[in-house]
Amino acid sequence: MSPGLLKYDDHDWITRPHEDGEPARHVAELSEAAGTEWSRANVWRYEPGAAGKRHRHPTQDETFVVVRGTLTMYLGEPPERVDAVPGDVVHVPHGTPLQTVNHGLDDLVVYVHGWPPEEENAQLLPSAI
The residue among 39, 43, 42, 41 whose CA lies nearest residue 115 is 39
- Give the C-alpha separation, 32 to 37, whole Å: 8
- Residue 92 belongs to some domain of the structure: yes
* pLDDT for residue 2: 55
The pLDDT score that the predictor gives to residue 1 is: 45
Bridge partner residues of 43 (DSSP): 28, 111
In a domain, 12, yes or no: no
C-alpha span between 73 and 62 (Å, rounded) = 13
Q: What is the pLDDT of residue 71?
A: 98
- Please report whether residue 68 resides in a domain: yes
Give the count of domains, the chain.
1
Peptide bond between residue 3 and the one before it cis (omega within 30 degrees of 0): no
pLDDT by residue, tens only, the chain of 129 residues:
456 789 998 999 999 988 899 999 999 999 888 888 888 999 999 999 999 999 999 999 999 999 999 999 999 999 999 999 999 999 999 999 999 999 999 999 999 999 998 878 899 999 999
Sign for the CA dihedral angle at 79, 51, 20, 105 comes to positive
Task: Give the CATH number of the domain where residue 107 resides.
Answer: 2.60.120.10
Domain of 80 in residue numbering reads as: 17-118
Q: Is residue 27 part of a domain?
A: yes
Range list of H helices, the chain: 31-34
Query: Is 124 a domain residue?
Result: no
Is residue 123 a part of any domain in this protein?
Answer: no
pLDDT of residue 3: 65
pLDDT of res. 127: 96
Report if residue 6 sits inside a domain. Answer: no
Considering the domain boundaries, does residue 102 fall inside one?
Answer: yes
